[in-house]
Copies of this chain bind each other. A is one copy, B any other.
């Protein structure tokens, strides 16, 4: 039993393949047809973005899908080349090889293998939680900024010029210098394709619905817009031989299945690709798991993040072994797969079959495909991910989160995508640490007629000159323990009549060794000052741990279960006076 459970854990295919029936096949097959039609232009375009020959995009959309079908836990995820990972690949591989050389392709293949190995290892060691340290504002800012960079990097194909750069500034300035060399036929194709694709995205589905088509069918058909753009521009280019007028075309591609081979490994190359492989793995995993979770929740299905790491690892290793480049689960494509009715990961395997047929028989037809058309599909796809307004919205909710997002955008645009995401992560972690290092604290008093205690600055409460109660709204740990000491010592220095100091801990979820040290120091120093130190409302698990220390034995005062019990013991007269709602000595404000 245990070994079968373990087999099922690592091979999720076993949990559905046994009960696979005809009606499920029909649904999966239909979804596969629709996803295939969407994936063909996408995989060609993203290969272009990654700086690779177009067929590599198709290769990366065959075996990886089969691998995911075997190992994946999502019923709807569609893996393959995606925009951000393609850009990361271009950046990483561009640093070690010249685009268009055999070395460039070899490095991209090695990157897929490395990323696959890293993802698999993370999954086996159950390290999926690492992705949690990428905050939402950082991811959102990163997607917006990389969308802008990707779009800018494709403008050269629309203009028919050469321009390279990893930051927005360099790309724009390179394009500006080449503006005079713009190829007019290329520009016309590119602009027309962009306009058409934007219209398809925004206007087609409503039109189709107006003429009586079902909403889902209409939006599904709209996804085929890129295919139409490709067919039309191929026809135009072939008929008018626009390639002879300077329109860059994809050119001859040999129709074949992906060559399966274990690549030879260059150790120096390996070493220089390890960093980018880790970054690609984590970002690809975050993108993939987000969409998988969203779709699974809609059908009350379950995703195992660690098994997803293994599945994405297997997909990337499959990609590397079949001349592909790094892949992951894509947002748009998976949503289409889900909406089209895919019920099991088998739909992915059928899509792989569709792409195989395309790789074998469609490639000769792609000779006259203008690169400008592919660039147009990329630009339209990524610009829909750009969301500048989110900065304002996030800033309104939380300045720290807004700052993280803005910093990620600025660093990504200004210093490249690797620097951008690293800067964003470090900033968001630092701001979190900074916030917890300065916890909210309040001196509290008794609300007359109740057993409740509230901030003396915000409420009309009663207090006593001989007793100060400080409530701390955060766990106590090294970064805030010394700050708490400072505040307590200042309070003691400012209140010469003080006899009792109560630290109220209802929101203290833990006390680490440094904070324990600080509490012991406070206890000792308050004793030197003639003030008794008490605790109140200490949580069970925190108390369990404190019992393992000297603090409770050394404490000059008591640990009270409730703050009301504390005040009733320390200053019964005040409590009696406040019982009937009188204010013997109400705090100002």
Interface residues of A (CB under 8 A from B): 129, 131-138, 293-294, 296-298, 300-303, 305, 394, 396-398, 400-402, 428-429, 432-433, 435-440, 473-475, 477-483, 485-486, 489-490, 492-493, 496, 506-507, 509-510, 512-514, 516-518, 521, 525, 528-529, 539, 541, 545, 548-549
Residues in B neighbouring A129, C-beta threshold 8 A = 437-438, 483
B305 near A398 with CB under 8 A, answer: no
Given A294-B521, A489-B296: A136 and B302 within 8 A (CB)? no
Residues A137 and B474 in contact, CB atoms below 8 Å apart: no
In the assembled complex, the Cα of A507 lies from the Cα of B537 at a distance in Å of 12
Asked if A400 and B486 sit within 8 Å, CB to CB, the answer is no
Q: Which residue from chain B places its CB closest to the CB of A480 in the assembled complex?
A: B132
**Cα separation A507 to B373 with both chains bound (whole Å):** 54
Known A293-B485, A429-B433; contact A545-B398, beta-carbon cutoff 8 A: yes
The answer for the CA separation of A248 and B466 in the assembled complex, in Å, is 63
Given A129-B483, A402-B513, 7 other A-B contacts at CB below 8 A?
A132-B437, A135-B478, A297-B528, A300-B529, A394-B513, A401-B514, A432-B512
A485: B residues at CB distance < 8 A: 293
Partner of A514, one of B136, B433, B437, B489: B136
Expressed in whole angstroms, the Cα–Cα distance for A459 and B394 within the complex equals 41
Q: Which residues of B contact A480 (CB under 8 A)?
A: 132
Residues from chain B with Cβ under 8 Å of A507 in the complex: 506-507, 509
Closest to A429 in B: B433
Is B398 within 8 A of A490, CB to CB?
Answer: no
Copies per complex? 2
Most buried by B among A136, A298, A435: A136
Contact B300 A493 (CB under 8 A): yes
Q: Shortest beta-carbon distance, A273 to chain B, in Å?
A: 25
Whether A132 contacts B482 in the complex (CB less than 8 A), given A137-B513, A397-B513, comes out as yes
CB of B135 within 8 A of CB of A297, answer no
A38 to chain B, nearest CB (A): 24
Instruction: Quote the shortest CB–CB distance from A23 to chain B (angstroms).
Output: 23
Q: What CA separation (Å) do A131 and B133 show in the bound complex? A: 24
Instruction: Give me the 8 closest cross-chain CB pairs, A-B, nearest first.
Output: A135-B478, A297-B525, A401-B513, A136-B514, A298-B528, A135-B514, A136-B517, A473-B509
Contacts of A297 in B (CB 8 A): 489, 492, 521, 525, 528-529
Chain B residues with Cβ under 8 A from A490's Cβ?
302
How many angstroms between the C-alpha atoms of A529 and B297 in the bound complex? 7
**Shortest CB distance A287–B (Å):** 13
A133–B433 Cα gap in the complex (Å)?
9
Compute how far the CA of A507 lies from the CA of B293 in the bound complex, rounded to whole angstroms: 27
Residues on the B chain within 8 Å of A136, using CB? 478, 481, 513-514, 517-518
Chain B residues whose C-beta falls within 8 Å of the C-beta of A440 in the assembled complex: 509, 541
Known interface pairs A294-B521, A513-B401; A132-B429 also in contact (CB < 8 Å): no
**Is there contact, CB below 8 Å, between B525 and A294?**
yes
Q: Give the residue name and chain of the B residue nearest to A134 (CB).
A: B478
Q: A394–B521 Cα gap in the complex (Å)?
A: 16
CA–CA, A521 to B136, complex, Å?
A: 12
A-B contact pairs, 5 of them (CB 8 A): A129-B437, A297-B521, A297-B525, A401-B513, A473-B539
Note all chain B residues with C-beta closer than 8 A to A134.
478
A548 interface neighbour in B397, B483, B496, Cβ under 8 Å = B397
In the complex, the chain B residue whose C-beta lies closest to that of A490 is: B302
A567 to B220, CA, bound (A): 44
Question: Are the CB atoms of B513 and A398 closer together than 8 Å?
Answer: yes
Residues of B with C-beta under 8 A to A482: 131-132
Contacts of A493 in B (CB 8 A): 300-302
Task: Determine the distance from Cα of A396 to Cα of B521 in the docked complex, in whole angstroms.
Answer: 19
List, in ascending order, chain B residues with CB within 8 A of A300's CB. 492-493, 496, 529
| Nearest CB in chain B to that of A494: its residue | B302
Complex Cα distance, B524 from A297, in Å, reads 9
On chain B, the residues within 8 Å of A303 by CB distance are 486, 489
Q: Which residues of B contact A137 (CB under 8 A)?
A: 478, 513-514
In the complex the two chains form, what is the Cα distance from A486 to B401 in whole Å? 22
Nearest CB on B from A206, distance (A): 24
Minimum CB distance partner of A473 in chain B: B509
Please indicate the chain B residues that have their CB under 8 angstroms from the CB of A302 in the complex. Answer: 489-490, 493
Cβ-defined contact, A478 with B428, below 8 A: yes
User: Which residue of B432, B479, B486 contacts A133 across the interface (Cβ within 8 Å)?
Assistant: B479
| Nearest-Cβ distance from residue A586 to partner chain B, whole angstroms | 21
In the complex, the chain B residue whose C-beta lies closest to that of A431 is: B512
**Interfacial chain B residues near A512, Cβ < 8 Å:** 135, 398, 400-401, 432
Q: Which chain B positions have C-beta within 8 A of A506?
A: 506-507
Complex-state Cα separation, A216 to B198, whole angstroms: 86
For the complex, give the distance between the alpha carbons of A77 and B233 in Å.
Answer: 81
Complex: A506 Cα to B537 Cα, angstroms: 13
* Shortest Cβ distance from A542 into B: residue: B473
